[in-house]
A and B are shown apart, each in its own frame.
With several copies, the nearest count.
Chain A
Amino acid sequence: LSPQTLYTYPENWRAFKALIAAQYSGARIRVLSGPPQFHFGHTNRTPQFLQKFPLGKVPAFEGDDGFCVFESNAIAYYVSTEELRGSTPEAAAAVLQWVNFADSDVVPPASTWVFPTLGILHYNKQATEVAKEEVRRVLGVLDGHLRTRTFLVGERVSLADISLVCALLWLYKQVLDPAFRGPFGNVNRWFLTCLNQPQFKAVLGEVQLCQRMAQFDA
């Protein structure tokens, strides 16, 4: 396959999903994430970009045949193998279930909790406390599901694992200290198993799990 292009800003966890999937499928993707090829905030506002990607959002993907797609889950799906997508209707539905779960139940509370510790959002004590409880609930659901499983769907890595690992990444790096994540042993095992897959490591590198819960960065 001649190179296909992924437009994004640097270190975008949403772009990591497609890059990890491509490690499994062998899809060759060149990432344009900095000037002069791509300048976030400018290039994605040009008429040329908006003509291809009307929302102007990244990550955005352009195939070698001019096929264009936005929305990170759609891009990750496109560069995946049948195995990652779920090779039976049941497996594919289960993959979709966990991918949607990541967006609807993990991303909002994770962002509410983590962003103030990165100094990019004002801290709100009440919202953070609610977010912590939401994260505890989410980890509890995953822990129950992973009690008897190595991966989320079937016996191998799928887009479900890739999506949820990427959605949980900043939580595990910033705020899930040993005390908070202690009760969720199955999730911790699963998370580390995925991180240690060569295809994840090739994209995420060495991920240091949080040792001390970051507080909001006043």
Chain B
Amino acid sequence: MAVDYFLHDKIWFEKYKYDDAERRFYEQMNG
């Protein structure tokens, strides 16, 4: 199935975890 190819694309599934962690870190730094 064509959709099987999708997995070969690099997708940052965990991006939201990193974005949240980075935001919290800099909010604390500037708290």
Contact = CB atoms under 8 A, between A and B. Distances in A.
Interface in A10-34: 10-12, 14, 34
B2 A104 contact: no
B30 A112 contact: no
Interface in A106-157: 107-109, 111-112, 115, 118-121, 127, 130-131, 134
B10 A119 contact: no
A134 B1 CA distance: 28
Contact of A120 (B13, B16, B22, B30): B22
Given A34-B30, A111-B18, A120-B22, A10 B11 contact: no
B13 A111 contact: yes
B16 A118 contact: no
Given A34-B30, A115-B18, A105 B6 contact: no
B5 A108 contact: no
A139 to B, nearest CB: 16
A104 B5 contact: no
A11 B3 contact: yes
Contact of B16 (A34, A121, A134): A134
Chain A: interface size category: 20 to 34
Interface in B1-31: 1-13, 15-18, 21-23, 25-27, 29-31
A24 to B, nearest CB: 25
Given A9-B5, A40-B30, A121-B7, A115 B16 contact: no
Nearest to B26: A9
Interface of B: 1-13, 15-18, 21-23, 25-27, 29-31
